[in-house]
Amino acid sequence: MNLAGSMVFAFNDFNSDRPIMHIKPTTPTVHTTGIVELDRGKKSAYDVVHSIYHDQKISALPIGNYVPVSPYAYVIIGLTLLIIAAWLVNGNRRFRESTRRAIFNSYNFFADIRDQFTLPLFHTTLTAFIIAITFSVIFSSILHHFKTSVVLDYFFSYLLSDGFKRIVIAMSWNPMIGVGYLSGVMVGWFLGLTVLIQLLALMARVKIRLFHSYSIAVWTALPWLFFIPVGMILYRVLESDAYVPWILSMVVLMSAWVYFRTLKGISVIYHIYTPKMYMIGVTMLLIIIGGVYAYFDYMYSLSLYLEYFTTHILPFVN
């Protein structure tokens, strides 16, 4: 049969049961795919469809030029971080020396912390906040870039509750909200890692002061500071699809470097052979990943969902 015709996806905008990521967070549950609005107000699409169905001449539409919104908050935050970091490095010799040794001579730096070499609390805490904000700018920029991704929206709908997904949607559309939440997550990571190092020290029968655990948690993440200038322009670089895989690869490699630096720092203060600590850390990471996967597979049939996603959804996503 030779068939011809057309079909309108939706006559009017409609509400969804779940919040949608690629729609602005003011109305995250409203699908705006209709030719009239939710209150039946006509859109330009209505006039076009009406003209097509009645064999009338379609009026010229003012196309205009699309100019993407530039989140200048990333630039302002990055400049502020650069100024603070430059002030610390150039204005304090002890901080400059600690920074250099933490990057290029990390073993001796961690050994000094183990041997009760005390770093100023102010420097360590300020470094923690600079790292946390830098981390948040990087991941907020990535989240902002993928805010209209249908694939990511499917995964968030599966993994997150509606309330938490609303927060993620607000973070992806509003850079300041994203930076604020992710900075809090990173600061929480530093505090949680500090407590974890203390607890593991009890198991390893090693006496470590709380501040030294805090110093290890913060200074092992110091390489993230290299991303301060990158974070200022990352949102613009990600607009070119060719650079997206490279940026994501850089972030993954940096995360892996920081993770292994953390294992190295822990091995030094625990007096454990570093390769052995690497093996323990990698094994624990694999166990955690496997446990999370097993939990979601048992509770929510993750394997079946992934199979359905790859065979029925992903091939039709542009």
pTM for this structure? 0.85
Q: Tell me, what's the pLDDT at 239?
A: 86
What percent of the chain has a predicted confidence (pLDDT) above 90? Answer: 35
Digit-coded pLDDT (tens) for 14-64? 888 888 887 776 777 787 788 888 888 888 888 888 888 887 887 777 776
The HSE-up count of residue 290 (CA atoms within 13 Å, CB side) is: 6
Q: Tell me, what's the pLDDT at 252?
A: 95
pLDDT at 258 over 70: yes
Distance CA 274, CA 294 (A): 30
Per DSSP, the chain holds a count of helices (H) and strands (E) of: 13, 2
Burial class (CB in 10 A: 0-12, 13-18, 19+), 219: buried
**What's the rounded mean pLDDT across residues 136-140?**
94
Give the residue extent of every domain in the chain: 1-67, 73-270, 273-318
Digit-coded pLDDT (tens) for 62-84? 776 766 667 888 999 999 999 99
Distance CA 176, CA 77 (A): 10
Q: Tell me, what's the pLDDT at 317?
A: 66
Highest mean pLDDT among 88-92, 156-160, 165-169, 193-197: 193-197
SS3 246: helix
H or E segment to which residue 15 belongs: strand 14-15
Digit-coded pLDDT (tens) for 221-240? 999 999 999 988 898 898 88
